[in-house]
Structure 1
Amino acid sequence: MGPRNRSGLCGGQAPRRTGPAGPVSAALVRPWRARLRFEASVSQVIAATLVAAFLLAFLLMPVGRVILTAFLDPAGGFTLIHFADFFRTSLFIESFWNSLYVAGMSVVFASVLAVPLAVILARYRFPGSALIATLGVLPLVMPPFVGAVAMQLIFGRNGTVNLLLMDWFDLRLDLMEGLNGVIFVQSLHYFPFILMNLSASLANIDVSMEEAGQNLGARGLTLLRTIVLPLSLPGYLAGASLVFVKVFDDLATPLLLNVTNMLAPQAYLRVTSVGLADPMGYVISVILIAVSLAAMVGSGLLLRGRDYATAQRGGGGLSHRRMTARGKLLAWLFVVPVLFLVLAPHIGILLLSLATIWSFSPLPDAFTLAHYGTVLRETPQFLTNTLLFCGIAALIDVVLGVVIAWLVHRTKLPGRELLDLAAMSALAVPGLVLGIGILRTYFDTHLPGGDSLATWWGMLIIVLAVRRLPYALRGATAALRQVHRSLEEAAENVGASKAVTLTRITVPLMAGGLAAAFVTSFATAAVELSATLVLVTRDVDAPIAYGIYIYMQSAAGRGPGAALGVIAVLAVALCTWGAHAVAERERSRRVRTSESQEAA
C-alpha cells in the first residue's frame, strides 16, 4: 500500500468533497463555478453603475413613486380606496371611456387613411408613389398641438371650410367639436406610423405566397383580404398600437381644443389645481401606464401562435403591377384629398403667423411679419432655451445610448439586458406621468438658492433626455451592430484597453448613426409639451413648446404663437432632413465599402 496522507487516503489522493447527498466530484462543481464567474472589468462595472443610477433616479424611482402613492392612504398604509373613489366618480369614468374612445377611433380613422396608401405603394406602379412617401413624413414634422390650432382655423365651426360650405350649400360640418376634434387631429397626425410600418411589412411578403393565392383563383379584393393583409398584420399592429398609446396619453391636443373630460387632462388639472397631495392625479397616472402597457402587450398577444415568416430569405416583395386607367383615377381621387388634409395644418399655421386679423373669414384680412418680430424681440428665450435644453438632452441620450449598447452587445456583464429594458421602458411612460413623478420625488429637495430641484431648468433637460432615450438607444444599437468585432479585437491585440477601443475605434465608426440619433432626439424633444407643462414654472426657463401653448391660450397671442409654431416646424423639418441625409450617406458609404471589398 502506498503512503497515507493526513486524511488517511493512499497515494496522496486529494480528499473528496461531500454534500448532503453524499460525495460530489470536483468535475461537477467546476462548470457551476465557471457560470458564476464575474466576467467584467472595472470600467464596465463603473459605466453600468452610473447608467443604472441615472435611470433609477430619474425614471424608475419617479414612476415608482407615482404608482406607490396611488396605493397609500394618508397614514402611509396600503389601500385601494383611491381607485374605488375613481370608479365612483362620474367625471373620471366619463374621462376614462372618452380616452379609450378617442384612442380607438383615432386608430380606425388613421387606418382608413394609411391602409389604402400602403397597398398602393406596395402593390402598384403608381406615378404618385413619391407623393405617398412624402405623406408618411409630413404630418410628423408638425407637433400635434400646433396642428390642433391650425385645424380649428381650417375646419372649425367658423373655419374656412365651414364658412364656404355655409355660403354655398348652407351646410356645416362639426369636425372640430369636442371629442371629434381630438380624433380628427390625432388621426391626421399619427396615421404615418401605420403607413410606414404596414408598408415595410407589405414589402417583406414573399411574392410566391401571392402567386399561390392567384393560382387558387383569388383575385382583387379577395386576394388582398385573404392573403396580403393577413400576412402584413405584424406591421399593421405595430403601427396601430403605437397610434393608440400616443393618442391615449396625449395631453396638449385636448387642452388646446378645450377638451378636459379625458384622462390625461384630468390628471394634469388635478395636480396643478388641487396639488401634489391629491391622490387622484396618481391614480389616473397609474391607469395611463396600465392601459399603455396593455396596448403594447396586447398587440404582441394577437400575433402569438401565428407564423408570418416568408419562404425565401428577405422576402420577395409583392409584385408591382401596372395600374389601369380606372385604378389610377380612383387612386388619385383618394390621394389628393388626403394630401389636402395633411397639408391643411401646415397651411393654416403659416397663414395665421402672417395674418393681421383672421376671424369669421375664409382667409386673413391682411398679412404681416410683425408676429415674428414680436417673438424674436419679446421672447427670444424660447428659442435659445430650446437649442440649449434639447441640445444637451440629445447629447446625454447619445452618450447613454452608446454606453448601454456597448454594455449589452460587447460585454458579458451580468444583468446588462436589464439596462436596455429599463431604458426602453420610457416608451410606455407618458410624459405627464414622468413629470408628476419628478415633482413628487424632488419637489421638497431645494437647491442652494432655495428653488425646488423638481422645477429647476436642469431637471427639464434630464426629463427630456429620459423621454427620448429609447430613440437614441435604438440608433446607437443599430450603429454598433454595423461595426465588426474584428476591428475592436485588432485594437485590443496591440494593447488598447476596452475603454480606449470604445472611444478611439468604435464610437468614430458609429458616427453616422449617432448623428442621426442626436438629431432625432433633438427634434422630438423640441416639441415635448406634456412633461414641460408640469415642470416649467417661469417663462424665462421655458422652451418653444411651452411658449406656443401659452401664446395660444389667448386670441391676441395666436399670431405670435403661430409664428413660434412655424419656427418649431422648420426646426423639426431641418432635423428630420438632417437625420435622413446622414442615414443615407452612411448607407451609401457601406454600399461602396461592401462593393470595394467584393472587388478586392
Structure 2
Amino acid sequence: MSATVQPARPLFARMRTEASPIQVVAALLVAAFLLAFLIVPVGRVFVVAFQAGDGGFTLVHFADFFRTSLFIESFWNSLYVASMSVVFASLIAVPLAVILARYRFPGTALITTLGVLPLVMPPFVGAVAMQLVFGRNGTVNLLLMDWFGFRLELMEGLNGVIFVQSLHYFPFILMNLTASLSNVDISMEEAGQNLGAKNFTLLRRIVLPLALPGYLAGASLVFVKVFDDLATPLLLNVTNMLAPQAYLRVTSVGLGDPMGYVISVILVVVSVAAMGLAALLLRGRDYATQQRGGGGLGRRELTRRGLILCWCFVVPVLFLVLAPHFGILLLSLATIWSFSPLPDAFTLQHYGTVLQETPQFITNTLLYCGLAGLIDVVIGVTIAWLVLRTKLPGRKLLDMAAMSALAVPGLVLGIGILRTYFDVKLWDGASLATSWIMLTIVLAVRRLPYALRASTAALQQVHRSLEEAAENMGAGKVTTLRRIVVPLMAGGLAAAFVTSFATAAVELSATLVLATRDVDAPLSYGIYIYMQSAAGRGPGAALGVIAVLVVAICTFAAHRFAERERSRRTRSSDPRAE
C-alpha cells in the first residue's frame, strides 16, 4: 500500500484552522510591540555598524575599531573585568553554597540573607558607598594607615570595578549553585565514599562536577552583567571599557558616529557568545541522577574546628556585603565626611533637599516602573497563554523574541531607540525617543523576560481541566482567561509585577541614554546626576537609600506573595487541611 502524502498547508491556512481570531489578534499585537521596541531598534544598531556612507555594506567601521588603541584597550579591559569578577564572585559564592547544601550550619538563615542582600542595592549606588569604605581615603584605609602604616588599593581603576561587581553579583552564582547542589543524588556521594573518596576529594571529584550546570548558569550571568554594565565604571571614573566608550561616543560625538554602534554590536555578540559557551561546556555530558527518597546531598554536622572555619569565612563576607549599605546610609546622614573614618556630624537635611527640590525623581520612578510592570504582566500573560494553551503557529518565536531581551544590554537598546525614533515628534514637538513614554516602554522591554518566566510558571500550575469546565458551562476563551485563569495566577502575577517594578527602578544604562531633562528623569538618573559633584553626594546618597528601600520592599513583597501561593497550594493539595 502506498501512503498518501499530504501537501504542506500555507501558514495562513494553518492559522485559520488552528487558532481563533482572538489568539491571532493577541499574537499580532505582542509581535508588533516586540518588533517596534526591541527587534527593529537592535536591528538598526547592527545595520548602522555595517553600513557605508553610500548605504552599502562595509566592514571598515570594525577595521577602524580594531585599529584604534583606545578601543582595543577597552575591549580587553572589559573582558578582564568580567572574567575576574566571575573568579572573585566564585571565591565567595562556592564556599557559601557548599556550606548551605552540605552542612548543618547555625548561620544558614544568615547566609541565605546574604544571598539576596547585595541584589537589593543597585550596583552604581554600591560603587559610591564602596569608595567611602574601601577607597584610598576611605574608612578601612584610614584605619590601616593609622594602625599599621599601609593601604589596600582595592578601589583603584579596574580593580575597583572588579571589587564592586564581584560583591554585587556573587548571589547569582550562590543561588544557582545551591539549587544545583541540593539536587545532587546522595547515592552518588555514597558511591564515592565507598571507593575511598573523602572530604575535599569527594567534593572536588564528585559533588561539584555534578553541580556544574548550576555554577555555569550563575557564572555566565555574572559575566554578561559585568561586561555590559555602564553605570558602575562611570561612577568610578573608569572610561576605558566598552560600555562607557559606547555611551561617550553617542553622547559626545553624536548619533551619526558609527563607533558607538560598532561597540554596541560587540557588546551583544560577546554576551550571546558567553551564554553559548556555557551551554557548549555542558554539551554531550549527562548530569541527571536518579534520586531516592527526595535525593539531595547528605547534610552532616560540623566539627568544632569546621564550625570555626566556617564562621571565619562567613563573618568577613558579611562585613563586605553590609559595607556598601552602611556606607550609603552614613553618607546620606553626614554633614561632612572627608578624610575621616566616620562622618563629622549627622543631619536629615539631604533627605529634605531631595524631597523638596527634586521630588519628581521619586514620583517619576513610581509612575514609569508601575506602568512598565503592568505592561510586562499583560504581555507576559499573553505570551504564556499563547505558548501553553494554544496551537498557534509561531507562538514559540514570540517567547524566544521576548527572552532575547536578556542578551541585549540596556545601553544598546537605548542607542537603538534613539536611532530609530529620534526624528519622530510628539504633539509638543519633543522627540518620541527621549520622552517619558519611550523610557517607560524601554523599562518594560528590559524587564519583560522576568515577568514572562513568572507568568509561564504560574500558568503551568493552573490545570487545564479548570478551563475546560468553564468552557463546558458556556464561557468563551476570553471570559475563561479573565474569570478563571488570571485570578488563579494572581500570586505569580503579583510577584512578576513586583520583580519588574523593583528591577526597573534601578535601571540606569538605558536611562542615561534616553533621559534628557531632570523633570522627566527617574530615581536612578537623579542618583547619577547628584553623584557627579562633591556637594551632591549627600542628596545622591539619600536618593540611593530611597532606591534601596523601594527595591527591598518590593523584594520582600515578592517573597511574601510567593510564600503565600506556596502555602495555599500546599493546603489545597493536602486532604488533611479540610
Shorter-chain TM range is: over 0.9
Given the alignment, which residue of 39, 64, 69 partners 1:90?
Answer: 69
Q: Map 1:394-405 onto structure 2 (within 5 A).
A: 394-405=373-384
Q: TM-score, normalised by structure 2?
A: 0.98
Confirm or deny that 1:316 pairs with 2:295.
yes
State the match for 2:4 in structure 1. 28
Q: Is the 8 A contact 1:385 1:542 kept in 2?
A: yes
State the match for 2:428 in structure 1. 449
Matched letter for residue 132 of structure 1: I
Confirm or deny that 1:530 pairs with 2:506.
no
Confirm or deny that 1:515 pairs with 2:494.
yes
C-alpha distance after superposition, 1:466-504 (max 9, x if no partner): 000000000000000000000000111111111111111
Given the alignment, which residue of 276, 279, 284 partners 1:300?
Answer: 279
Shift of 1:518: 0.4
Shift of 1:31: 8.1
Cα distance in 2 between the residues matched to 1:97 and 1:585 = 47
Cα distance in 2 between the residues matched to 1:82 and 1:392 = 38
Give structure 2 stretches of 5+ with no counterpart: none
Matched letter for residue 4 of structure 2: L
Structure of greater Rg: 1
Cα 1:296–1:314, aligned 2, differ >3 Å: closer, same or farther?
farther
State the match for 2:178 in structure 1. 199
Q: Which runs of 4+ in 1 moved over 2 A?
A: 29-38, 312-315
State the match for 1:550 in structure 2. 529
Matched letter for residue 347 of structure 1: F
Cα distance in 1 between the residues matched to 2:90 and 2:59 = 38
State the match for 1:120 in structure 2. 99
Cα 1:319–1:558, aligned 2, differ >3 Å: closer, same or farther?
same
User: Secondary structure, in 3 states, of the residue corresponding to 1:505?
Assistant: helix
Cα distance in 2 between the residues matched to 1:469 and 1:228 = 35
State the match for 2:195 in structure 1. 216
Cα distance in 1 between the residues matched to 2:383 and 2:292 = 30
Confirm or deny that 1:378 pairs with 2:357.
yes
State the match for 1:76 in structure 2. 55
Q: Is the 8 A contact 1:67 1:282 kept in 2?
A: yes
Q: Map 1:121-270 onto structure 2 (within 5 A).
A: 121-270=100-249
C-alpha distance after superposition, 1:313-370 (max 9, x if no partner): 6961100100000000000000000000000000000000000000000000000000
Matched letter for residue 91 of structure 2: V
Cα distance in 1 between the residues matched to 2:503 and 2:122 = 9
Shift of 1:28: 1.7
Cα 1:532–1:33, aligned 2, differ >3 Å: closer, same or farther?
closer
Cα distance in 1 between the residues matched to 2:44 and 2:166 = 33
Cα 1:33–1:252, aligned 2, differ >3 Å: closer, same or farther?
closer
| Identity in percent | 82
Cα distance in 1 between the residues matched to 2:305 and 2:238 = 43
Shift of 1:209: 0.2
Confirm or deny that 1:349 pairs with 2:299.
no
Confirm or deny that 1:279 pairs with 2:258.
yes
Confirm or deny that 1:365 pairs with 2:344.
yes
Cα distance in 1 between the residues matched to 2:99 and 2:294 = 18
Q: Is the 8 A contact 2:571 2:577 kept in 1?
A: no
User: Secondary structure, in 3 states, of the residue corresponding to 2:402?
Assistant: helix
Given the alignment, which residue of 382, 400, 405 partners 1:421?
Answer: 400
Q: Is the 8 A contact 1:207 1:315 kept in 2?
A: no
Cα distance in 2 between the residues matched to 1:314 and 1:204 = 12
State the match for 1:567 in structure 2. 546
Cα distance in 2 between the residues matched to 1:593 and 1:440 = 52
State the match for 1:330 in structure 2. 309
Q: Is the 8 A contact 2:247 2:513 kept in 1?
A: yes
Larger mean Cα displacement after TM superposition, 507-516 or 305-314: 305-314
State the match for 2:80 in structure 1. 101
Shift of 1:397: 0.2
Cα 1:363–1:53, aligned 2, differ >3 Å: closer, same or farther?
same
User: Secondary structure, in 3 states, of the residue corresponding to 2:536?
Assistant: helix
C-alpha distance after superposition, 1:103-123 (max 9, x if no partner): 000000000000000000100
Shift of 1:448: 2.0
C-alpha distance after superposition, 1:218-255 (max 9, x if no partner): 00110000000000000000000000000000000000
User: Secondary structure, in 3 states, of the residue corresponding to 1:157?
Assistant: coil
Matched letter for residue 28 of structure 1: T
Matched letter for residue 539 of structure 2: P
Q: TM-score, normalised by structure 1?
A: 0.94
Confirm or deny that 1:62 pairs with 2:41.
yes
The CA RMSD measured in Å over matched residues stands at 1.4
User: Secondary structure, in 3 states, of the residue corresponding to 2:574?
Assistant: helix
Cα distance in 1 between the residues matched to 2:359 and 2:258 = 38
